[in-house]
Amino acid sequence: MNFKLLPLLALSALGTFLNPPECSPQCSWKCNDPVCPALCDPVCAPAECHTTCEEPSGALCEVKCEQPQCEIKCPGSSCSDEGCPECQAVCSAPHCITICQPPAPKCQIICQEPTCDWKCYKPADCPKPQCELLCENPQCKPDISCCPCQGSDVLLHAVTLFKDDEPNPGCCEC
């Protein structure tokens, strides 16, 4: 038997003992999932509106005239009997204007239903997800009663054998 290969065979066997094939813990990222509402602004087509008014009724009008310029004219000859022509008042042409006050309009604005869409965008203050790498804690730990102490093989001193999990405080450190 070749004794030079013995340390390598022992190390190989120890590796299989420490990490048996059915014991392969997995690590994966676990992240929270913050939810932030999107910010949305309306985007609308121009308003389509028109004005409707009732027909005006009964304008208030008044006629104003200047004071007439009149004079009395009598026939030019003197008359002595009862059948004398009478004197008459003669006036210049009348000068009048009509002033109307229109009625207050009764109008209303009518608009079509607005046509809008929403433009949404990401908020600036949404927190980023928090992540951490989590690894499984396998139930397959090696069964080591105690590390060999003084005078042990050199091979076992080079390998860490879960000394933190050692239940026997009397064992020495490896």
Q: Once rounded to an integer, what is the mean pLDDT over residues 16-37?
A: 75
Is pLDDT at 34 greater than 50 in this prediction?
Answer: yes
- Residue 95 CB partners (closer than 8 Å, separation 6+): 65, 66
- Residue 99 CB partners (closer than 8 Å, separation 6+): 61, 62, 63, 64
- Could you tell me what percent of the chain has a pLDDT over 70? 64
Q: Once rounded to an integer, what is the mean pLDDT over residues 140-154?
A: 54
Are 39 and 74 part of one and the same domain?
yes
Is pLDDT at 149 greater than 60 in this prediction?
Answer: no
- The secondary structure element, H or E, covering residue 60 is strand 60-65
Q: Is the dihedral of CA 118, 121, 127, 129 positive or negative?
A: positive
Q: Supply the pLDDT for residue 155.
A: 43
DSSP β-ladder status, 96-101 and 60-65: antiparallel
Is pLDDT at 43 greater than 90 in this prediction?
Answer: yes
Are 54 and 133 part of one and the same domain?
yes
Are 171 and 118 part of one and the same domain?
no
Q: Supply the pLDDT for residue 97.
A: 93
- Give the burial class of 19: count Cβ atoms within 10 A of its Cβ; 0-12 exposed, 13-18 middle, 19 or more buried: middle
Are 124 and 54 part of one and the same domain?
yes
Tens of pLDDT, residue by residue over 11-23, are 454 444 454 556 6
Are 36 and 121 part of one and the same domain?
yes
Is pLDDT at 7 greater than 90 in this prediction?
Answer: no
Domain count, the chain: 2
Q: How far apart are CA 125 and CA 38, in angstroms?
A: 11
Q: Supply the pLDDT for residue 111.
A: 93
Q: Once rounded to an integer, what is the mean pLDDT over residues 104-119?
A: 92
Q: Is 3 inside any structural domain?
A: no
Q: Is 83 inside any structural domain?
A: yes
Is pLDDT at 138 greater than 50 in this prediction?
Answer: yes
Query: Which domain covers residue 80, as residue numbers?
Result: 23-140
Q: Supply the pLDDT for residue 52.
A: 92
Q: Once rounded to an integer, what is the mean pLDDT over residues 22-49?
A: 88
How far apart, in Å, are the Cα atoms of 95 and each of 5, 33, 46, 66? 141, 91, 54, 6
Q: Is 11 inside any structural domain?
A: no
- Residue 151 CB partners (closer than 8 Å, separation 6+): none
How far apart, in Å, are the Cα atoms of 62 and each of 67, 68, 98, 105, 124? 16, 18, 6, 20, 70
Are 126 and 161 part of one and the same domain?
no
User: Confidence class of residue 162 from pLDDT cuts 50, 70 and 90?
Assistant: very low
Higher pLDDT, 89 or 141: 89
Q: How far apart are CA 107 and CA 123, in angstroms?
A: 45
Q: Supply the pLDDT for residue 157.
A: 39
- Residue 52 CB partners (closer than 8 Å, separation 6+): 107, 108, 110
